Chains A and B, each alone.
Chain A
Amino acid sequence: MTSVALPRPMSSPKAVAWAGIVVALVGLWLALPPWTVRTPVPSLVLCLGALGCGIHAARSGARQEGWWAILAAVLAGLLAFQATQAQVGTLDDIISAGLFAATLRWATPLTFGAIGGLFSERTGVVNIGLEGAMLFGAFFAVWGAAETGNWFVGVLAALAIGALVGLLHAVFCVHLRADQIVVGTAVNLLALGVTSFLLRKIYGFSGTPADLDQIPNVSIPLIRDIPFVGDVIGDMNLLIWVGLATVPLAWLIIFRTPLGLRMRAVGENPRAAETVGIGVYLIRDLGVVVSGMLAALGGAYLSLAFTGSFNEGMTAGRGFIALAVLILGKWRPFPILASALLFGFASALADRLSSVGISADLLKGLPYIVTLIALVGFIGRSTAPAADGKPYVRGGA
């Protein structure tokens, strides 16, 4: 902009940003066990320093890392302040292996939903029907398990209904080229109506059976006995492991196989993809169906492991959070996992805080603000697959 040459920063802005992130985390850590410094001053000073690093980095080129540092500084400052206001004993109760185990539990349905959304959006179909697919999955998992007395059948039923919902979505969005958001809305409305209807018709006022065959936990002999680590992952639900495994698997499929290359090609430039002989509609159908199945699996986890029952509208917007996770993760599997863990952590923390009598509604809202800041700060429109949300006319003009 100006003709005056600005002095080059002494260190790389990226390194400054990362230093800021680390400083912010240290600031937060000071307020937590085992240190539990009882005054917010040192934490806030460190977080202010981190904020400075972030702003500096963001202004001198490392936009993305800088914004992350700014975010980390703000979050760490808020949390550290909150923590210094609480009793030490309460903190010891809250910050425990149980918190991290709960984080994984809360994050799992989000991971399934977001990875599902990834498959759909990488092929160019925006899927705001994730919520509906999840709700359908949650109901039919319970139904299958109740009918047969076998959780595995329940999971299969969820996968089947998820595929069906995905197929419906694909027929309307891909083949009939209906507006993707409108169809997603319809799927969500349908899911709420149909599952509530079936719940009341089949199970009546008593709700789903209490003696459901639930998805089992996996107890790992040696790891189980490691302190802390064993408490977190030694006895986790099977579907949490499956959810964690989905992430590298998705990465492998999308970024390391010919099929994944085709998916990405269709999502970025369907015209070019078709020119080289890729069946655009087929790839998109596949992406949407897989997304329905994964979201439904997330629903199955919710009903058959997380709560052990089905209640009306029990997904309570998790499909939409999964969408936020997908965006915050910038349409990439591992960052998606990190974002899901962030949302899961906020939920688990809020859950624990309210169980010791601290209101946590504001904390629950924090991940959404983080996503908004990220969206405005550095995600913007450039990161989404280029053809995301655009219907494609095969062999058209």
Chain B
Amino acid sequence: MRAAIARAARAARFPAIAVVLAFVVGGLVVLLTGNNPFSVYKQLILGAGLDYPFHWLPGNPLGVDPDIAKFNLVATIVATTPLILAGLCVAFAFRAGLFNIGGTGQFWVGGVTAFVIADRLSGLPGPLLILLAIAGAALGGAVWGAIPGYFKAARGAHEVISTIMLNWVAVYLGQYLFGLDGPLKGPTENPISVDIPDRAKLPGIWGDVQPVHAGIFVALGAAVAFSLIFRRTAFGYDVRAVGFNPEAARAGGVRVGRIIVLAMAVSGLFAGLAGGGEVLGVNYHIASNEFAPLQIGFVGIAVALLGRNTAIGCVLAAFLFGALQSGSNQLQGAFASDLAVPLSQTVQGVIVLLVSAELIGRKLTTRRVARRPAERLPDEGQAPAAP
């Protein structure tokens, strides 16, 4: 047990440093604008509802308003849910030595599939409808992820490029489907679909207006599955083997092409679930102008990198980014949310940059300690060498 804690602390050391440094950089930016970074960060923390647990303290010494704090914390968890899945998506492909930049496209294909099922099969009983819609989201994302995997395995097309292309194909397809001439547009004049039937909506679990929905269980379940795949299954072992060294894996009897396709499919599956969760649990409809190519997939990269490509790391990193996102929406006064949102994007960028530098720091120290001809296998969770 103590060894496990020590290992976790060791793994979390560099990401923690990166986060602290990024917040210092962000604080300097706040300072340059003539504001007090401490009060801005305090507002950010309160805005994310992170003070909620303190109202349980006997006598509530901090004077936390449980209703407001609960409202904010609910918003943070709602924002965290898709980020967990987006992070798992990038992390899974990373483990196979693949860079899945196509999270956004897979997210949307999953979301649209879930919408179509919820909308067109609305005669089915609620639980079955929800299950089918979620399964459809997973399948849609998996197919959209498997395509670049197949292109890579069969034709050597680099997955970074093909996933970027497929993002755009998904975006334009979505803009068309829900656009003015699109088949999925609702009866109004606006390029927006109808709402899915109530029975297809994911049940709320906690909170009132926009409650934490059952999608959080899907996300946490996916994180557990992610972990189990790598700890308990031969498939997970093969994925890691391909990630470390495809040639060696091939020599060892792994069917590398098949693993690449499957790994991309599982990766896309996570993103598809994220899309399905947002449609079934948060928005209930899709608008043509929501299709943008660069959003969720890129935050997923930041989540996966900060989470060291582990399940628990992705959950924690997603919570951090979710809190940053929902907290900056609550900022008021001199440093209002219109400045805070780009600031939190900047902090994300700095985190990714620093995490990339951390990988190097690790490489350099490894080299210094063990300068042997034989390369050491990277630690678990470290990004494998370039594919």
Contact = CB atoms under 8 A, between A and B. Distances in A.
B151 interface: yes
A186 B360 contact: no
B104 to A, nearest CB: 10
Contacts of A359: 176, 179-182
A164 B359 CA distance: 23
Give the bracket for the number of chain A residues in contact with chain B: 35 or more
A379 B157 contact: yes
A348 to B, nearest CB: 16
Contacts, number: 166
A389 B352 contact: no
Given A323-B161, A369-B169, A189 B345 contact: yes
Contacts of A375: 151, 155, 157-158, 161-162, 165
A186 B79 CA distance: 21
A256 interface: no
Interface in A378-397: 379-382, 384, 389-391, 397
Given A194-B349, A205-B338, A359-B182, 9 more contacts: A126-B160, A179-B383, A185-B302, A189-B346, A192-B345, A196-B345, A320-B164, A324-B164, A381-B156
Contact of A201 (B101, B165, B339, B360): B339
B29 interface: yes
Given A361-B176, A380-B156, A193 B348 contact: yes
A8 B165 CA distance: 38
A6 interface: no
Interface string A274-316: 0000000000000000000000000000000000000001001
Interface in A57-71: none
B151 A193 contact: no
Contact of A128 (B160, B168, B173, B363): B160
Interface string A177-204: 1111111011111111111110011000
B320 interface: no
27 contacts: A177-B360, A182-B356, A183-B353, A185-B298, A186-B352, A187-B349, A189-B348, A189-B349, A190-B346, A192-B349, A193-B346, A193-B349, A196-B342, A197-B29, A317-B293, A321-B168, A323-B164, A324-B165, A359-B180, A361-B176, A362-B173, A365-B168, A365-B173, A365-B176, A372-B169, A376-B162, A389-B386
Which 6 pairs of residues, A with B, have the shortest CB-CB distance? A193-B345, A193-B346, A190-B349, A365-B172, A189-B349, A381-B156
A200 B156 contact: no
B162 to A, nearest CB: 6
Contacts of A187: 349, 353
Give the bracket for the number of chain B residues in contact with chain A: 35 or more
Interface centre among B179, B342, B348, B355 (most CB of A within 10 A): B342
B301 A178 contact: no
A364 interface: yes
A368 interface: yes
Given A194-B342, A197-B339, A381 B157 contact: yes
Interface in A324-370: 324, 327, 359, 361-362, 364-365, 368-369
A148 B171 CA distance: 39
Contacts of B179: 359, 361
Nearest to B174: A361
Contact of A397 (B293, B343, B373): B373
A230 B182 CA distance: 39
A313 B298 CA distance: 14
A347 B343 CA distance: 32
Nearest to B170: A365
Nearest to B156: A381
